[in-house]
Amino acid sequence: MKNKEQNISAEEAKLALDNLANIDSSTNKLIRPPLWLTVIMAFFYGMMTFSWASTRHENLWMLGLIISSICFLASVAFYLYSSHLLGIKPKVLPKSRAECFYHLLSGIFFGAVIILTRALSVNGFEYSAYIGGLLNAIVLAYLLHHYSTGNYIKDNGNHE
Amino acid sequence: MNNVSFDPLIHAQNRLQICAILAATAEIEFKVLREKLEVSDSVLSKHLKALEDAQYLCAQKRSNMGRQRTWLSLSKTGREAYNGHLAALRNIVGSV
């Protein structure tokens, strides 16, 4: 079925790539969570980081960590379920090498922030909990908004 | 590294769009895809059949809340072919 011969010009190829960029962009906008849900997810993720850094033995922040974790997971579940009802299933696991790389990098970043924040907070730098929580929340919101499928969304506004 | 190969089956405009949408999702419902492409049921079915025959596409009918829905996804072969086709297009543009 597959004919490996190419018989298109560079202009046609460029046009096809431009069309694909527009399709990718509009598809990603369709898939990504709405802004209010992105803010909620990012808030609870930031709270998880903050609570974990502030936890000392069995103080009240342990409760904060449990509650924020439950709320974060609930918001993720809500996003996946509502997408399913709308007829779209977002990718949870990476499907290509580029997506694997993206997931790995973001995992390393979030892990490093969580560990560093906790270590600095325990060693007396109390403000690290605020900084780490805020940093993780902002980065998660940014990634959810722009990289919801592992592909960067060009916000050119020429579609939809 | 993706297998770089220009694939005329994928390159047809509607099929290229179908592959691009399916590549960005795990699964998408037939109705949503039809609305996104703004084509009729028959036109979409024809393109899906061509992709399915080439084993690029998986179509599954599932019942949800008493309503049957057709879920579409790219197969592993289809995803590789699409990525290879994209790489081939980039090569053509880059070689000028």
- Bridge partners (DSSP) of residue B70 are B61
Answer for the pair A79, A40: CB distance below 8 angstroms, yes or no.
no
The ipTM of this complex is 0.81
State pLDDT tens for residues A63-86: 999 999 999 999 999 999 999 999
Residue A156 forms part of a structural domain: no
* In chain A, % of residues over pLDDT 90: 51
The total number of structural domains that make up chain A: 1
**What residues of chain B lie within 8 A of the CB of A24, using their CB?**
20, 24
- CA-nearest residue to A87 within chain B is B29
Per-residue pLDDT band at A136 (split at 50, 70, 90): very high
State pLDDT tens for residues B2-48: 567 888 888 888 899 999 999 888 999 999 999 988 899 999 999 99
Burial label, B38 (beta-carbon count in 10 A; 0-12, 13-18, 19+): exposed
**Domain extent for A47:** 10-146
B8-90 adopts what CATH topology?
Answer: Arc Repressor Mutant, subunit A (1.10.10)
Residue A128 forms part of a structural domain: yes
d(C-alpha A40, C-alpha A18), whole Å: 34
* In chain B, % of residues over pLDDT 90: 43
CB pairs under 8 A between A and B: 93
User: Helix, strand, or coil here: A20?
Assistant: helix
Cβ of B6 within 8 Å of Cβ of A6? The answer is: yes
Question: Does any CB of chain A come closer than 8 Å to the CB of residue B36?
Answer: yes
Answer for the pair B57, B74: CB distance below 8 angstroms, yes or no.
yes
**For the sheet containing B27-29, what is the strand order?**
A88-89, B27-29, B67-74, B57-64
For A96-115, what is the mean pLDDT?
90
pLDDT at A145 over 70: yes
